[in-house]
């Protein structure tokens, strides 16, 4: 595929961009000049949006945001399900010089109240499905709350807005959009990405590793709010003039297989938890995956056994790759001609990757160490968090927080996190947050949460609880604790097992020693 005018990559995969440009032009407007106006950019169960319609609606959305009083660099918090309006808001904002911030849509009022305040956003646009969390969040902020409207109300504003909008010029390294990422302690951090970052991930991983072209139909069970989903089903197809398939439902084996059979995607992107559930469903009913030329997995490690069972059942390989919100997409990944089950693959061209020991020296081949990466797609900084920025981003290098080693053939093998963070269904889960929630239950004195492997070898949270009343908890209390967590936290965070103990192992300074509880 020819690169858009004015954009080039050097032989060592460094991007060159015009000094003044707007990234909405190569991703959206370019396709009109290249004759794709009538081609489907987005397909959903309800509608098809052509590239011409997309470009016009992006302009209307940008104008509607400007009319709502947002100006250059103002933030738009968009809590939007996977639907075409996600594209209109995201690209309309960028084209108008406004910074879109799409958070995880599974969070609770408290999380949103924090993000509204932290981001200082001027407007919140939300799918009405999320009103039950967004409206209390805004109420909680009282007079400090910004304006808010539902996606439906915003679409009505778009209808009144002009269909023409000039792209606001920016430098390739100017702030463009943010993604919130959680840590083991403290609140989520807004990772600030630049204009060029989506160009880099789309070309280096999308085109050069996956081989995405305008013939591809991309369907991602991982949602657009996740950096993984954003690349999979928005930036990669838009970069090459392909088609994105979106579904607003919670992904289950039934919905995902139905989408694959109906829309016949050529690339399917999932997460290990979902692949496990899909494999279980394939035991009872065979499904037609013949359109799919490649499956991709990320978010957490894909067990080798799952790779083999999937290949046996479907005839396709799953390409596991590790990415992060800060790197924006996959930086070490398997590829079609070069994969090894049970590994994260090899560095994506253009990503410098190092495994370092505690002193910052490169480890010997085969030894474990901390994974650091450097590339042109990594976030510039965390909003309002200079210390976290300084810890994580050092001289242009990004500390991934993951432990890795390389096998003899150069494949990277995941060995766990260097912090206590868990990945559940590919989404961050902080043990501390779950512990705090458990301690909020009247029966609980103390709690520790660790990762525990389920039958599929996938990690889920397990709680080890000390009760106020001596004696062990029973099944009814376990159910009550699980229900308490589901109600208070994003539902995927509840502990799948609860164990009762008389006391927790602690350091001299009283810190829970979670590593002693892992099993």
Residues at the interface with ligand 3UK (CB under 6 A): 181, 227-228, 298-301, 320-325, 329-330, 344, 400-402, 414, 417, 423, 426, 428
Minimum separation from the CB atom of position 50 to ligand 3UK (A): 28
Alpha carbons within 13 angstroms on the beta-carbon side of residue 190 total 26
Q: How far is the CB of 209 from ligand 3UK (least distance, A)?
A: 12
Distance CA 254, CA 223 (A): 16
Nearer to ligand 3UK, 93 or 328 (CB): 328
Q: Which two tokens stand for residue 503?
A: 């006391």
Could you tell me whether strands 369-374 and 352-356 are parallel, antiparallel, or unpaired per DSSP bridges? Answer: antiparallel
CB of 38 to ligand 3UK, least distance (A): 31
Q: Is 422 exposed, middle or buried (0-12, 13-18, 19+ CB in 10 A)?
A: buried
Question: Smallest distance, Å, CB 211 to ligand 3UK?
Answer: 17
Nearer to ligand 3UK, 59 or 201 (CB): 201
Shortest Cβ distance from residue 403 to ligand 3UK (Å)?
A: 9
For residue 191, give both structure tokens: 């990772």
Q: φ, ψ for residue 65 (rounded to 5)? A: -70, -40
CB 191 within 8 A of CB 326: yes
Closer residue to ligand 3UK (CB): 77 or 301:
301
* Least distance from ligand 3UK to the Cβ atom of residue 267, Å: 14
| CB of residue 168 to ligand 3UK, shortest distance in Å | 27
Q: For the CB of residue 180, give the shortest distance to ligand 3UK in the complex, in Å.
A: 10
- Map residue 513 onto helix, strand or coil: coil
Q: Taking a C-beta distance cutoff of 8 angstroms, is the pair 76, 121 a contact?
A: yes
Alpha carbons 268 and 289: distance in angstroms, whole number: 10
If the CB atoms of residues 49 and 227 are measured against ligand 3UK, the closer one turns out to be 227
Angle between helices 475-488 and 431-439 (to 10 degrees): 120
Q: Among residues 247 and 320, whose Cβ is nearest to ligand 3UK?
A: 320
Nearer to ligand 3UK by Cβ, of 202 and 400: the residue is: 400
In this complex, which beta carbon is closest to ligand 3UK, that of residue 26 or of residue 425? 425
Whole-angstrom CA distances from 229 to 81, 82, 174, 215, 271 are: 12, 10, 23, 19, 10
Integer Cα distance of 395 and 352 in angstroms: 13
Task: Name the residue nearer to ligand 3UK (CB basis): 58 or 221.
Answer: 221
> What CA–CA distance (Å, rounded) separates 45 from 56?
21
Hey, how many other C-beta atoms are within 10 angstroms of the C-beta on 142?
7
Q: How far is CA 471 from CA 5, 249, 467, 475, in A?
A: 71, 43, 8, 13
113 φ/ψ sector (left φ>0, alpha ψ -120 to 50, else beta): alpha
* Cα atoms in the 13 Å half-sphere on the side-chain side of 153: 13
CB of 148 to ligand 3UK, least distance (A): 26
């Amino acid at each position: 595929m020819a690169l858009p005018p004015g954009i080039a990559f050097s032989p060592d995969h460094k991007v060159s961009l015009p000094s003044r440009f707007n990234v909405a032009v190569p991703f959206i407007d370019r396709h009109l000049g290249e004759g794709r106006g009538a081609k489907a950019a987005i397909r959903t169960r309800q509608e098809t949006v052509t590239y011409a319609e997309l470009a016009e609606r992006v302009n209307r959305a940008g104008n509607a945001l400007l009319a709502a009083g947002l100006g250059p660099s103002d933030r738009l918090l968009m809590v939007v399900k996977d639907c075409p309006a996600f594209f209109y808001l995201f690209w309309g904002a960028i084209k108008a010089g406004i910074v879109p911030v799409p958070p995880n849509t599974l969070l609770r009022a408290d999380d949103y109240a924090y993000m509204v305040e932290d981001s200082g956003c001027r407007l919140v646009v939300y799918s009405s499905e999320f009103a039950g969390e967004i409206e209390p969040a805004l109420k909680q902020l009282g007079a400090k709350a910004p304006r808010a409207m539902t996606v439906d109300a915003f679409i009505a504003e778009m209808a009144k807005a002009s269909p023409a909008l000039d792209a606001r010029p920016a430098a390739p390294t100017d702030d463009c959009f943010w993604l919130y990422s959680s840590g083991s302690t403290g609140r989520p951090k807004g990772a600030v990405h630049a204009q060029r970052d989506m160009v880099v991930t789309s070309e280096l991983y999308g085109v050069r590793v996956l081989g995405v072209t305008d013939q591809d139909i991309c369907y991602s069970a991982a949602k657009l709010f996740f950096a993984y989903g954003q690349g999979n089903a928005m930036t990669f197809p838009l970069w090459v003039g392909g088609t994105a398939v979106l579904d607003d439902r919670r992904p289950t084996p039934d919905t995902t297989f139905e989408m694959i059979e109906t829309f016949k995607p050529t690339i399917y992107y999932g997460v290990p938890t979902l692949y496990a559930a899909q494999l279980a469903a394939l035991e009872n009913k065979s499904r037609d995956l013949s359109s799919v030329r490649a499956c991709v997995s990320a978010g957490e490690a894909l067990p080798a056994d799952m790779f083999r069972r999937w290949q046996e059942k479907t005839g396709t390989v799953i390409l596991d790759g590790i990415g992060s919100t800060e790197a924006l997409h996959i930086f070490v990944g398997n590829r079609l001609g070069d994969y090894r089950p049970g590994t994260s693959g090899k560095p994506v061209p253009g990503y410098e990757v190092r495994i370092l020991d505690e002193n910052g020296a490169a480890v010997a081949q085969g030894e474990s160490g901390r994974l650091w990466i450097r590339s042109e797609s990594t976030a510039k900084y965390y909003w309002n968090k200079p210390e976290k920025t300084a810890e994580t981003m050092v001289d242009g290098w990004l500390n991934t927080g993951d432990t890795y080693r390389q096998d003899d053939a150069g494949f990277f093998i995941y060995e766990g996190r260097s912090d206590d963070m868990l990945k559940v269904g590919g989404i961050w889960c902080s043990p501390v947050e779950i512990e705090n929630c458990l301690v909020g239950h009247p029966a609980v004195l103390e709690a520790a949460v660790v990762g525990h492997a389920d039958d599929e070898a996938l990690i889920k949270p397990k709680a080890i609880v000390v009760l106020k009343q001596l004696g062990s908890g029973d099944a009814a209390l376990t159910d009550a604790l699980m229900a308490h967590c589901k109600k208070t936290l994003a539902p995927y965070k509840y502990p799948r097992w609860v164990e009762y103990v008389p006391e927790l192992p602690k350091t001299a300074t009283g810190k829970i020693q979670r590593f002693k509880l892992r099993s």
